[in-house]
Chain A
Amino acid sequence: MLRVEYAYWLIAAFLLYAGLRNLLERQGWRALFWLVLGTLFAGGDEVLSQQAAGNALPAQLAGGGVILLALLAPQIRRSTHTENASREHRMQSAIRLGHRLFVPALLIPVVTLLVALFGSHLSIAGYAVFAKPQMTLTGLALACVIALFAASRVTRSSMPEGLIEGRRLLDAIGWAVLLPLLLAALGEVFTQSGVGAAIAGLAGTILPTGSALACLLAFALGMVMFTVIMGNAFAAFPVMMAGIGLPLLIQQHGANPAILGSMGMLCGYCGTLMTPMAADYNLVPAALLELRSPYGVIRAQLGSALAILAATIVLMYLFVFR
């Protein structure tokens, strides 16, 4: 049965490979960074199962690893490996291969799509091929493996050459790969530390609760603000709902819960478009696209995010109290 854990092992192997290559090239800090991250990925399942069994030591070690990564990150510069093939070479190859080059690239979304749609019906000798949890993402990992085979066939190069190229791109992204995971961990720590409850407590003391419009604005803008700080609308939602949405808007002013919940969450999504804290949507793409400013994607999104937010607040005001 294919599980998403296998994908983590693949990632671990790739990260460890990148670490060893850097070690051979005497890039000590960068080598250590990838080796530590690869070890965290390889040992992740063990950490979680030991933690569930009541042994906190592996999780504490993993926490130490995270702090080590944080210390290493400023040491590694974004690498600028020169591209292995010249522009003329790539142009000639593009002319020779033509549309065949699209096939492996499109295999990634297509195979993922097929697994997402039909994966649950697939079984061999009575055993399901894909495990239920995270099936789409398991499909994505499988798609990458299949696409790598196809790409090496189409370009007539070997799979290890794919690893070399992949590692070049990984080094170009550098420490930005860490941010999505770290911010998820930060969200968990904030929740456990009662940061959300403290914010809701503060908002309750300064808000004119008699005005439905004031409460609605505080709720919508609070969703945006809190999402901007946390980088995730899902973290903001329960806090703002418990602090303002439920007691003031629904119970006191009779707001429609379905509309308030749905559109309130979407206000949070507008916040996601504006914040560097949502690293996986904003900073990682900027690094992937090799933009000179890490905030380039946010800058391109800001106008749309504000306009969509304004539209959502107006729609919410029109419908939520009917």
Chain B
Amino acid sequence: MNYWPLLGIAVIVIGFLLRFNPVPVVVCAALTSGLLAGLTPLALLALLGKSFVSSRLLLLYVLTLPVIGLLERAGLREHAQRWIGRLHGLSLARLLTGYLLLRQVLAMFGLTGVAGAAQTVRPLLAPMSEAAAEKILPELDSADRDEVRAIAAATDNIGRFFGEDVFIALGAVLLIQAFYTQHGIELTPLSIALWAMPTAIAAFVIQSVRVWLYQRQLQRRAANMRSERTN
């Protein structure tokens, strides 16, 4: 067994720990592993180029940028914030939990590309969450704003990940089934998908509780500020 290609992983870890720009770090790791595995430089270049262009669909989200840019210049974020500010029943926790549920259910039906950081979080969910947080604590500083936006993005990711595994005709389930078929074990996709359900429920409960705890933390801070002001 040739253990030398493992040094590629060491390059990644060291590069990230030293906070180098990740782009050259990743390319260096690929070159390290490939060369240590005995690939010729030309074969390695071809492999790198071919794999890069094969995953072009990962950049599809940039097509949303002109739309988002145009709408944001015309006040999309300001409008989303004003609107949420006027809706009295809609708290931060309810907004994010509702979105989480919607995202999980959509992903369970295989509709993962419908929402996402570019499609829904930046133009809609993030400004709405900021407005909902502002209703609780009007003195949000920029670190708080960053945290609220990050929680919105996290909720989107968690909803997607722990919904899509329940869908029978998509990547993960088919990959698992294909692995077993190669090794002589026949399973139906449904039997695999079904066992993603307990974790899907756990993920929904856990993220909802964490969002609710964050909201309570904001409420406590708001209450402290009010009592300081009255004293």
Chain A residues within CB distance 8 Å of chain B? 4, 7-8, 10-11, 14-15, 40-41, 43-44, 47-48, 51, 56, 58-67, 69-71, 73-74, 83-85, 87, 90-95, 97-99, 101-102, 104-105, 108-109, 112-113, 116, 134, 136-137, 139-141, 144-145, 147-148, 151-152, 154-155, 157, 159, 161-170, 175, 177-190, 192-195, 197-199, 201-202, 229, 233-234, 237-238, 241, 246, 250, 257-259, 261-263, 265-266, 269, 272-273, 276-277, 279-286, 288-289, 291-293, 296-297, 299-301, 303-304, 307-308, 311-312, 315, 319
Contacts and interface: CB of A to CB of B under 8 A. Distances in A.
B142 to A, nearest CB: 8
A91 B78 contact: yes
Contacts of B68: 105, 165-166, 169
B180 A177 contact: no
A194 B55 CA distance: 21
Interface string B59-75: 11111111111111111
B149 A289 contact: yes
Contact of A140 (B49, B55, B60, B75): B60
A265 B33 contact: no
Interface residues of B, number: 119
A4 B123 CA distance: 24
B151 interface: yes
Nearest to A103: B71
Interface in B183-197: 183, 185, 187, 191-196
B50 A182 contact: no
Contact of A98 (B79, B162, B180): B79
B54 interface: yes
A109 B62 CA distance: 15
Contacts of A85: 73-74
A291 B35 CA distance: 37
A238 B158 contact: no
Interface string B129-158: 000000000000010001101111110111
Contact of A262 (B71, B119, B171, B193): B193
Given A73-B24, A97-B75, A62 B110 contact: no
A301 B60 contact: no
Given A179-B22, A284-B117, A108 B73 contact: no
Nearest to B211: A304
Interface of B: 1-3, 5-6, 8-9, 12-13, 16, 21-24, 26-30, 33-34, 36-37, 39, 42-80, 82-83, 106, 110-115, 117-124, 126, 142, 146-147, 149-154, 156-158, 161-162, 165, 171-173, 175-176, 179-180, 183, 185, 187, 191-196, 198-199, 202-203, 206-207, 210
Contacts of A261: 176, 179-180, 187, 192
Given A48-B54, A74-B21, A155-B70, A109 B45 contact: no
B21 A63 contact: no
A144 B150 contact: no
B175 A289 contact: no
A247 to B, nearest CB: 10
B203 to A, nearest CB: 5
B67 A148 contact: yes
Contacts of B123: 105
Contacts of B112: 136
Q: Which 6 A-B pairs have the closest CB atoms?
A: A165-B69, A62-B49, A94-B75, A166-B66, A63-B45, A63-B49
A300 B148 CA distance: 9
Contact of A105 (B6, B67, B83, B191): B67
